[in-house]
Amino acid sequence: MTKLPEFEALLLERKGRRLTISFNRPDVLNAFGQVMHQEFVEALQFAGRDPGSDVIVLTGAGRAFSAGGDLNRMEELIADPSEFDREAADAKRIVFSLLDIEKPVIARVNGAAVGLGATIALFCDLIFIDEKAKIGDPHVKVGLVAGDGGAIIWPQLLGFPRAKEFLMTGRLLTGAEAANLGLVNYALPAEELDARVDELCEELLSGNTEAIRWTKVTVNLELKRIAHALMDPGIAYESVSVRTEAHRRAVHDMKARIAAKAKE
């Protein structure tokens, strides 16, 4: 059996032929910093070639799936935007790694999935979410373009009018609302989430491995074509927005609001 790699910001566990990758920064709601960006790419690449697994589950440690961008990291990127350009390459690799993996990838959204966290969940093949969890892409709330995948996947799942509504307002949905709109597969009470994910994993693992994988590959061909067309322009627009005063001010104001709330 191939030994599982160890990471600073991720936890990998294998149960039978199921590999679980957990975002493991619970103290910051599994927000993406520089290290987790890089490690997640490596973890996905490992998962894709891992001979010891046939199903992959993505989830978060603690009470969130992933809160998306780390505000402290955003401040670092504002100070040195060239760092964003390098980090954006990781975002691109994340999206294409999820699309290229032939194995079924299941999102177990146990809590908030925001920004890049939502994008990652929505690029999974099947999505189970806590009905009370919040999901959304509020890039615009911090003066950024949703260029790291949100502008690709939301229209494919909801259609253009609905996708534009949520991407341009940055509004968050509950898991129950997301399921009603068709954004995710199932919204469940928190206490039922594990059992339903386990049930689906067992169904997939008992199925025809090659047929399941190649069906996914076929379905993903069109999505990959769209991603190839939109990912670079989206990242370019987001790179421009990183350099704006509106973004700098939005990050400053959001940090101030969070600090004030913490003192209440």
Tell me the average pLDDT across 137-152. Answer: 95
pLDDT at 204: 98
> Quick one: pLDDT band at residue 257, thresholds 50, 70, 90?
confident
pTM: 0.95
How many CA atoms lie within 13 Å of 73's alpha carbon, on the beta-carbon side? Answer: 16
Residue 103: both structure tokens together: 């194995």
Which helix (H) or strand (E) segment holds residue 186: the answer is strand 186-188
pLDDT score of 263 more than 80: no
pLDDT score of 262 more than 80: no
pLDDT at 165: 98
Highest mean predicted confidence (pLDDT) among 53-62, 79-88, 246-255: 53-62
> Quick one: pLDDT band at residue 117, thresholds 50, 70, 90?
very high
pLDDT at 82: 84
From residue 14, give the alpha-carbon distance in Å to each of 2, 18, 36, 57. 10, 6, 20, 10
pLDDT at 7: 98
Say which CATH topology domain 10-263 has. 2-enoyl-CoA Hydratase; Chain A, domain 1 (3.90.226)
Tell me the average pLDDT across 85-112. Answer: 93
pLDDT at 1: 66
Residue 110: both structure tokens together: 């146990």
pLDDT at 114: 97
